[in-house]
Amino acid sequence: MPDRLPHPLRADAEDNRARMVDAARELFSERGLEVPMRAIARRAEVGPATLYRRFPTKQALIDEAFRDELRACRTIVDEGCADPDPWRGFTTILLRLGDLNARNQGLTDAFLATFPDAVDIGAHREGMLRSLAGLCRRAQDAGALRADFVLDDVVLVLMAGRGVTAATADARLAASHRFSALAIEAFRASASSAPLPPPARVAASALVAP
């Protein structure tokens, strides 16, 4: 019996950690980095002592919340690029990144404004764009993505999506999802599509943290 006890305890501890980080991401997005630790503990439904035992300082929790955000972003791109159907992978990435931005944009903005040199955000974005470039070429070769599409168009849509606002978090998420779906239809290859204006070269500027 003693040999079996640590496993559920470890699972429970990991579940608590995930809830604490998720709560921190939500509250930092909603209210900024000044939100009290006790409020995060309440949102995560754990005691303050449990929160401080896992994250002894608020800075440690802020850092972990942002790293978790970057991991979520990277996972979305990796999973989309691994899809054997490049168009489905491409559209899934746009929808999921749009939803992620709608939920947690406040966290990203607050973290980068407060700690501009803490993370090499340019390297993070460059790696994702490199992966997306290969996926987009495959989608064009399959005849699903319009031929005059350029990678800067993805960056343009994601930048525009950052400006989506609404009265509530649910409404913002719904608006972001709608916006992403409209963009996807514009990217779809069609014989009736009108030619696009010259590309807006925005990918390079996106590699620099705001």
Domain ranges of the chain: 1-56, 66-206
Nearest to 18 by CA among 45, 57, 56: 45
pLDDT of 102 strictly over 50: yes
pLDDT of 141 strictly over 50: yes
Q: Which CATH number fits domain 66-206: 1.50.10.10, 3.40.50.300, 1.10.357.10, 1.10.8.10?
A: 1.10.357.10
Mean pLDDT estimate for the chain: 85
CB neighbour list of residue 191: distance below 8 Å, 6 or more residues apart: none
- What are 165-188's pLDDT values in tens digits? 877 888 888 999 999 999 999 999
pLDDT at 112: 67
- State the Rg of the chain over Cα: 20
Residue 188, Cβ neighbours under 10 Å: how many?
A: 14
Q: Which CATH number fits domain 1-56: 3.40.50.1000, 3.40.50.300, 1.10.10.60, 3.40.50.2000?
A: 1.10.10.60
Note the pTM of the prediction, 2 decimals: 0.80
- What are 185-206's pLDDT values in tens digits? 999 998 888 888 888 877 655 5
pLDDT at 1: 40
pLDDT at 158: 87
Residue 1, Cβ neighbours under 10 Å: how many?
A: 4
What is the phi/psi pair of residue 145, to 5°? Answer: -100, 135
Whole-angstrom distance, CA of residue 75 vs CA of residue 95: 13
- What are 3-41's pLDDT values in tens digits? 444 454 466 777 888 999 999 998 988 888 899 999 999
- What are 103-132's pLDDT values in tens digits? 887 777 777 667 666 667 778 888 888 999
